[in-house]
């Protein structure tokens, strides 16, 4: 018989396929709108052409040319390793690591000739078929055999297509061609990736379960095609030389291509599906199980995407069910059961598949953003919580170790052993970081696709907007996303922002009309609401807005995510620790007082309360372990610090109107502050301080080892430019950061403290502005300002104390003492604080002494009623707390007096200060050495920080440092407390307790003797001046004026008296109107008259 033409072969084959009744009936069932008759060759031919690869159609044109399927596919599809879309230049993000397909081993050889019989044998082994004669382990295909015999078919492509079609038709007729043969699928799939070879293997070693999919849901036709695809790799591995060169390489490429093409039709339900098969829901795609179990042959998924992505309908029909299945799998996933890892890995693999001539198309990314629930409508009032479960990517971001997110977490892992718990914490942190790396790759891939970027940015902004209430003080946690979700989102944004260049970030973006972020309701750094409104109107008229670029959008989304995700989590953790301490204290108190209540009517209630406290402590303790794993994570906190360094650089550039990264600005800055800085939210600055304070306390190594000089510059600039920020508590927060860096507070921060103190701003300006703020914080506008100022000043005093030990910084403090009245105001506030704190401390100690004496008298104590005893005990506890607090503050203020007066004396001896200073010193000396000093004796004084000998030594040092005639006169003027007997008693105590040397004691007594002599002269003089005219007397102190001045209200006062008043209050003491020193008018005539009157009195006295 003559050789048939190619077109004739094709025509006969189409006609033969048209005669398959079962195939036609399936077509009818699947295409009711276009019925096909089994006796009508035309339509049957059309449908058959639909299922034949377009690549095969090209082969028919020239059967002598080998089919370059694999090479073509490599050009169309790539897992990664190539440049992505053209918009990536505008997106400066870190390129994620990419999974590379291992290249198949290929070698060339001169002896690679393959006969037709050998090619047929390869096809038979791969497809497990036989068309010449029945064979063991193979599916015999009689129709293919008849067709091949009648047409003398030798073309391998035709055999493959005919054989696959006949096998699929068997499945469609409810036949099981695999039933009679034994196929070892384990060896077939050994080329598949598995969990052991995954680069992102979970360290949580538990079994994986896929609850919503199972292997039985896979049609056997798909299983058969996947096994055939796997066996191609086995052939290549067994025959590396022959399989790497034509014609065998072409045949293997055709086998792969046709397995993928027919499996795509199976997945669409067009062929290979029995009419009696169960209809599965959308999420139960046959592809889900092999994807989750990682049993797909290597390269199959990439080739499937490459061959379907150009047809949107086909791609959607195949992969939308897969995405929905992964979404549902992730909803049911659990970190405890380790079912979270596989869906994330599967999605990561899908989105990294790149196709197109330049490998710049990511079909799955495009499909993801078009899913119906990518950004769903919100149906409840709990929008923040709802979107975490209803949005497509929400469940992937919800993997969490926080006990609040997974209630059974604590009972699963914790053993009670501290070392085991630490090991579990480390393991969980490693797992979280691995998950966050995968999530970053997913989000990066979608953002790298220019046609998906806007949708993803909108999604990210929506997540933040729906959860912005997390930053409020009072929140309804059930309606908002949990800490685990938000910290995962934060990590993704941090990784996206890590390589953004700051000079590409537009600092005006928060005010941009098209901004993704909202700051309308935020308190600004300095501007009021009306000032912000006016400035924005001006900005709208004068500034030309350009479309925001990705670096700017991503950077500000990351900044706001820190505020919404990180800071609330830190505050919640600290509240949990406070609760833990409070419950522990309550339990300790109940157990300590059990002898007092065990026979009372409250015994049963207290016992129940003890059990409840123990149970709550157990629960809180377990919760804390998992919170430590999720929050006290050095890797996470290190990323936060690096981002906040960039925030500091942006803020500093706005304040100084320079580019980010410029040298240290010249201070002081102009009084007129740029409004683009003062219009920013307060929390832009506050969050940096809150984060550093938290991390220094709970994970100090992160700050110590990674602190950048630009962040130190920013902290110091804020302290030294207080006029740029309206809220004094914000500056106080920055000062607290410098305080905590002090090695006397945080023992491990010595190197960091040296770095801060070595900064040029610290050497020249820091001390001056700290002392200025010490004064300014007297009034803050807050209802609690009186008590707030003590803790703020305590921080400043410790910073100054550490600076005094450095010669460079000591010189800056001494220089400041010579520069006008600012230092005098500082000393005045220091005296006020010392007076108040010592008074309150000593009064508390007296009350403690009284109650302790009463309790030691068992007869008197037992005579009290139970209610009276309880009241006294409650008062004792309050006094102990107050004594500890005030003594801590008082010791530092007295210590500051001690070291300052050693080198600085003149400001302390000014008329407006020296009298009050002496009165304070004499009064406290009387408390320590007077007749009632025994009232300060308490049990266990170190419990309160009470060191009377040290305090007495410091007071005596101040006396000796200021020893001069002016100071002696001021001592003598203190008629309330000064007396020679007091100083003699103090000297005896100093000598008896060896507190001071003999020389120092002698100097101390000599000073007192000179003061006593002056006091005697003063008493005589006061007697002489007692009849001074009223106009010569100060209206406030009723003393003879030395330097009269006139106030704007017309009142005449002694200058020393009114200056002392102005140091505390800048108002007229009579009219309460604002008053300053430059508003005082000297009265030289009156001063002359007073002087003349005094001289006359002296003369008359001598006569």
State pTM to two decimals: 0.84
Instruction: Map residue 727 onto helix, strand or coil.
Output: coil
pLDDT band at residue 194 under the 50/70/90 scheme:
very low
Residues 127, 139: Cα–Cα separation, whole Å: 9
Helices (H), 857-947: 858-863, 866-903, 911-929
- The per-residue pLDDT for 43 is 32
Average pLDDT over residues 114-124: 86
Position 827 scores a pLDDT of: 93
Is the pLDDT score of 183 beyond 50?
yes
Rounded Cα–Cα distance for residues 529 and 869 (Å): 55
The closest of 248, 288, 280 to 111, measured between CA atoms, is 248
Cα 146 from Cα 151, distance rounded (Å): 9
Q: What is the CA radius of gyration of the chain?
A: 43
CB 764 within 8 A of CB 812: yes
Distance CA 160, CA 225 (A): 12
Q: Is the distance from CB of 976 to CB of 959 less than 8 angstroms?
A: no
Centroid of chain to Cα 975: 60
pLDDT for res 1036: 87
Domain boundaries, the chain: 114-181+209-279, 381-511+547-630, 522-546+632-818, 1028-1099
Handedness of CA 710, 712, 716, 721 (dihedral sign): positive
Q: What is the DSSP string of 834-850?
A: HHHHHHHHHHHHHHHHH
Distances, alpha carbon 133 to alpha carbons 119, 146, 163, 253, 698, in Å: 16, 11, 14, 26, 76
Q: What does the pLDDT read at residue 274?
A: 67
Buried b (16+ CB within 10 A) or exposed e, 876-915: beebbebbebbbbbbbbbbbbbbbbbeebbebbbbbbbbb
Task: Out of 184-193, 225-234, 586-595, pick the least confident.
Answer: 184-193
- Do the bridges between strand 139-140 and strand 129-130 make them parallel or antiparallel, or are there none, so unpaired? parallel
Q: What is the DSSP string of 157-203?
A: HHHHHHHHHHHHHHHHTT--TTTTS---HHHHGGGS--TTT-TT--S
- 901 Cβ contact list (under 8 Å, min separation 6): 908, 957, 958, 961, 962
Which residue shows structure tokens 């685990």?
484
Query: Which whole number is the average pLDDT over 189-206?
Result: 42
Structure tokens of 1000? 């120092």
Relative orientation angle of helices 156-172 and 116-127, to the nearest 10 degrees:
20
User: Which segment of 266-275, 526-535, 1027-1036 scores lowest on mean pLDDT?
Assistant: 266-275
Beta bridge mates, 1054: 1044
The tens digit of pLDDT for each residue in 600-618 reads: 888 899 999 999 999 999 8
pLDDT on residue 90: 42
Q: At what angle do helices 709-720 and 767-776 cross, to 10 degrees?
A: 50
Confidence of residue 202 (pLDDT cuts 50, 70, 90): very low
Which is more confidently placed, 180 or 928?
Answer: 928
**Which residues, in sequence order, are bridge partners of residue 408?**
none
Which of 266, 302, 271 is CA-nearest to residue 285? 266
Residue 693 pLDDT more than 90? yes
Confidence of residue 31 (pLDDT cuts 50, 70, 90): very low
Q: Which pLDDT band, with edges at 50, 70 and 90, does 49 fall under?
A: very low
Name which of 291, 382, 377 is nearest 329 in CA terms: 291
Instruction: Report percent pLDDT > 90 for the chain.
Output: 57
Alpha carbon distance 213, 205 (integer Å): 21
Cα–Cα dist 259/943, whole Å:
81
At 69, the pLDDT band (50, 70, 90 cuts) reads: very low
Among the residue ranges 630-644, 650-664, 946-960, the one predicted with the least confidence is 650-664
Region class of 835: left (phi > 0), else alpha (psi between -120 and 50), else beta: alpha
The pLDDT assigned to 218 comes to: 74
Q: In sequence order, which ranges of 974-1075 are alpha helices (DSSP H)?
A: 980-992, 998-1024, 1055-1064
3-state secondary structure of 1044: strand
- Tokens 């696959």 belong to 164
The yes-or-no verdict on residue 911 having pLDDT over 60 is yes
First to last CA, the chain: 164
d(CA 1030, CA 1052): 11
Residue 837's pLDDT is what?
94
Q: Which residues contact 69 (CB under 8 A, 6 or more apart)?
A: 55, 250, 253, 254, 256, 257
Per-residue confidence band for 412, with pLDDT thresholds at 50, 70 and 90 = low
Q: Give the pLDDT confidence score for residue 421 in this predicted structure.
A: 73
Mean pLDDT lowest among 207-216, 502-511, 967-976, 1090-1099: 207-216
Summary mean pLDDT of the chain:
84
Residues 996, 97: Cα–Cα separation, whole Å: 70
Reported CATH class of domain 1028-1099: alpha beta
Confidence class of residue 1023 from pLDDT cuts 50, 70 and 90? low
Q: Would you state the pLDDT for residue 52?
A: 37
Of 49 and 294, the one with more pLDDT: 294
Q: Tokens in use for 905?
A: 């004396």
Alpha-carbon distance values, 511 to 149, 157, 516, 1078, 1101 (Å): 78, 64, 10, 43, 80
**pLDDT one-digit tens code per residue, 220-252:** 888 999 999 999 999 999 988 888 888 888 999
Give residue 599's pLDDT band: very low, low, confident or very high (50, 70, 90).
Answer: confident
Cα 477 to Cα 192, 251, 403, 752: the distances in Å are: 44, 61, 14, 37
Higher pLDDT, 691 or 361: 691
680 pLDDT higher than 80? yes
Which pLDDT belongs to residue 1077?
87
Instruction: Report the pLDDT value the prediction gives residue 137, as an integer from 0 to 100.
Output: 81
Over residues 480-489, mean pLDDT: 96
Do 329 and 288 contact (CB within 8 A), yes or no? yes
Closest CA to 630 of 533, 487, 497: 487
Region 777-786 average pLDDT: 85
Per-residue model confidence (pLDDT) at position 575:
94
Inform me whether the pLDDT recorded for 63 exceeds 70: no
Confidence at residue 413, expressed as pLDDT on a 0 to 100 scale: 62
Is 739 or 115 the better-scoring residue by pLDDT? 739
Question: What pLDDT, in 10s, does the model give residues 306-343?
Answer: 999 999 999 999 999 999 999 999 999 888 888 899 99
What whole-number percentage of the chain has pLDDT above 70? 83
- Round to whole Å and give the CA distance between 351 and 446: 7
330 near 54, Cβ under 8 Å? no
Q: What is the pLDDT of residue 3?
A: 46
The phi-psi region of residue 353 (left if phi > 0; otherwise alpha if psi is between -120 and 50; otherwise beta) is beta
3-state SS class at 94: coil
The SS3 of residue 656 is helix
User: Please, are residues 396 and 463 in contact by the beta-carbon 8 Å criterion?
Assistant: no
Higher pLDDT, 195 or 557: 557
pLDDT (mean) for 289-305: 91
The per-residue pLDDT for 246 is: 86
């Amino acid at each position: 018989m003559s050789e048939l033409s190619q077109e004739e072969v094709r025509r006969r084959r189409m006609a033969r396929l048209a005669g398959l009744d079962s195939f036609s009936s399936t077509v009818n069932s699947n295409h009711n709108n276009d019925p096909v008759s089994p006796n009508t060759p035309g339509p049957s031919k059309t449908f058959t052409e639909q299922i034949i690869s377009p690549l095969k159609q090209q082969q028919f044109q020239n059967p002598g040319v080998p089919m370059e399927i694999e090479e073509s596919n490599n050009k169309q599809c790539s897992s990664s390793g190539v440049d992505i879309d053209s918009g990536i230049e505008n997106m400066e993000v870190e390129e994620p690591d990419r999974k590379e397909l291992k290249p198949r081993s290929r070698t060339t050889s001169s002896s690679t000739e393959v006969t037709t019989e050998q090619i047929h044998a390869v096809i038979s082994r791969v497809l497990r078929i036989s068309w010449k004669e029945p064979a063991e382990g193979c599916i015999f295909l009689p129709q293919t055999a008849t067709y091949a015999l009648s047409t003398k078919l030798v073309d391998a492509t035709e055999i493959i297509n005919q054989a696959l079609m006949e096998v699929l038709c068997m499945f469609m007729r409810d036949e099981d061609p695999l039933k009679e043969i034994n196929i070892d699928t384990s060896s077939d799939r050994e080329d598949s990736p598995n969990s052991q070879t995954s680069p992102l293997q979970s360290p949580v070693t538990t079994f994986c379960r896929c609850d919503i999919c199972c292997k039985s849901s896979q049609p056997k036709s798909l299983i058969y095609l996947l096994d055939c695809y796997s066996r191609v790799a086995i052939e290549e591995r067994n025959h590396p030389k022959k399989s790497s060169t034509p014609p065998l390489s072409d045949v293997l490429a055709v086998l792969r291509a046709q397995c993928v093409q027919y499996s795509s039709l199976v997945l669409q339900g067009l062929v290979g599906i029995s009419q009696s098969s169960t209809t599965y829901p959308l999420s139960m795609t046959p592809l889900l199980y092999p994807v989750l179990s990682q049993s797909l042959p290597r390269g199959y998924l990439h080739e499937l995407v490459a061959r379907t992505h150009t047809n949107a309908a086909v791609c959607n029909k195949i992969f939308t069910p897969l995405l929905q299945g992964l979404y549902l799998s992730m909803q049911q996933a659990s970190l405890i059961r380790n079912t979270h890892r596989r869906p994330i890995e599967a999605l990561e693999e899908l989105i990294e598949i790149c196709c197109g001539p330049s490998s710049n198309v990511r079909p799955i990314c495009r499909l993801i953003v078009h899913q119906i629930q990518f950004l769903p409508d919100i149906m409840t009032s709990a929008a923040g919580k709802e979107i975490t479960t209803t949005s497509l990517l929400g469940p992937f971001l919800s993997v969490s170790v926080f006990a609040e997110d997974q209630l059974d977490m604590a009972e699963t892992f914790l053993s009670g052993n501290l070392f085991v718990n630490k090991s579990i914490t480390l393991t969980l942190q490693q797992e979280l970081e691995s998950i966050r790396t995968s999530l970053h790759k997913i989000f990066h891939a979608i953002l790298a696709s220019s046609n998906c970027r806007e949708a993803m940015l909108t999604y990210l902004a929506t997540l933040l907007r729906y959860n912005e209430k997390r930053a409020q003080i009072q929140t309804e946690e059930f309606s908002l996303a949990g800490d685990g979700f938000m910290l995962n989102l934060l990590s993704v944004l941090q990784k996206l922002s890590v390589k953004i260049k700051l000079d590409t970030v537009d600092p005006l973006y928060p005010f941009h009309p098209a901004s993704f972020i909202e700051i309308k309701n935020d308190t600004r750094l300095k501007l009021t609401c009306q000032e912000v409104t006016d400035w924005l109107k001006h900005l709208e008229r004068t500034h030309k807005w350009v479309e925001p670029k990705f670096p700017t959008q991503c950077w500000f989304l990351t900044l706001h995510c820190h505020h919404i995700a990180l800071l609330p989590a830190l505050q919640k953790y600290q509240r949990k620790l406070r609760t833990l301490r409070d419950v522990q204290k309550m339990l300790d108190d109940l157990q300590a007082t059990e002898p007092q209540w065990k026979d009372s009517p409250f015994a049963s209630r207290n016992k129940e309360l003890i059990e409840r406290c123990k149970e709550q402590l157990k629960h809180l303790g377990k919760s804390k372990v998992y919170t430590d794993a999720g929050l006290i994570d050095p890797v996470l906190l290190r990323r936060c610090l690096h981002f906040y360094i960039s925030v500091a650089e942006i803020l500093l550039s706005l304040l100084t109107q320079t580019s980010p990264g410029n040298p240290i600005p010249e201070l002081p800055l102009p009084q007129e502050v740029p409004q683009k800085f003062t219009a920013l939210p307060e929390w832009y600055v506050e969050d940096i301080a809150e984060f550093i304070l938290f991390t220094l306390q709970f994970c100090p190594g992160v700050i110590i080892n990674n602190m950048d000089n630009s962040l130190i510059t920013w902290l110091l600039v804020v302290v030294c430019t207080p006029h740029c920020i309206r809220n004094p508590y914000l500056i106080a927060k920055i000062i607290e950061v410098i305080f905590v860096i002090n090695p006397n507070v945080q023992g491990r921060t010595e190197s960091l403290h040296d770095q801060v103190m070595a900064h040029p701003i610290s050497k020249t300006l820091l001390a001056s502005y700290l002392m200025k703020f010490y004064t300014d914080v007297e009034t803050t506008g807050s209802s609690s300002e009186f008590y707030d100022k003590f803790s703020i000043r305590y921080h400043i005093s410790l910073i100054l104390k550490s600076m005094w030990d450095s010669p460079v910084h000591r010189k800056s403090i001494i220089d400041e003492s010579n520069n006008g009245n600012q230092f005098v105001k500082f000393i005045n506030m220091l005296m006020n604080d010392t007076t108040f704190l010592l008074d309150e401390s000593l009064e508390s100690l007296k009350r403690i002494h009284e109650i302790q004496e009463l309790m030691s008298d068992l007869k008197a104590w037992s005579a009290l009623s139970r209610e009276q005893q309880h009241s006294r005990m409650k008062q004792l506890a309050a006094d102990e707390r107050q004594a500890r607090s005030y003594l801590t503050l008082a010791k530092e203020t007295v210590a500051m007096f001690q070291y300052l007066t050693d080198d600085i004396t003149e400001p302390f001896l000014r008329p407006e200060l020296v009298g009050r200073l002496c009165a304070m010193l004499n009064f406290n000396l009387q408390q320590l050495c007077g007749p009632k000093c025994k009232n300060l004796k308490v049990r266990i004084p170190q419990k309160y920080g009470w060191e009377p000998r040290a305090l007495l030594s410091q007071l005596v040092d101040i006396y000796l440092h200021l020893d001069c005639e002016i100071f002696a006169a001021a001592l003598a003027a203190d008629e309330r407390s000064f007396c020679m007997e007091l100083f003699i008693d103090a000297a005896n105590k100093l000598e008896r307790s060896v507190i001071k040397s003999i020389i120092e004691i002698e100097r101390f007594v000599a000073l007192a003797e000179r003061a006593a002599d002056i006091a005697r002269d003063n008493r005589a003089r006061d007697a002489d001046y007692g009849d001074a005219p009223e106009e010569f007397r100060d209206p406030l102190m009723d003393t003879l004026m030395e330097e009269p001045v006139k106030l704007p209200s017309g009142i005449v006062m002694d200058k020393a008296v009114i200056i002392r008043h102005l140091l505390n209050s800048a108002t007229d003491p009579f009219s309460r109107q604002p008053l300053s020193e430059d508003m005082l008018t000297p009265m030289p005539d009156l001063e002359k008259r007073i002087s003349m009157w005094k001289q006359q009195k002296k003369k008359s006295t001598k006569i």
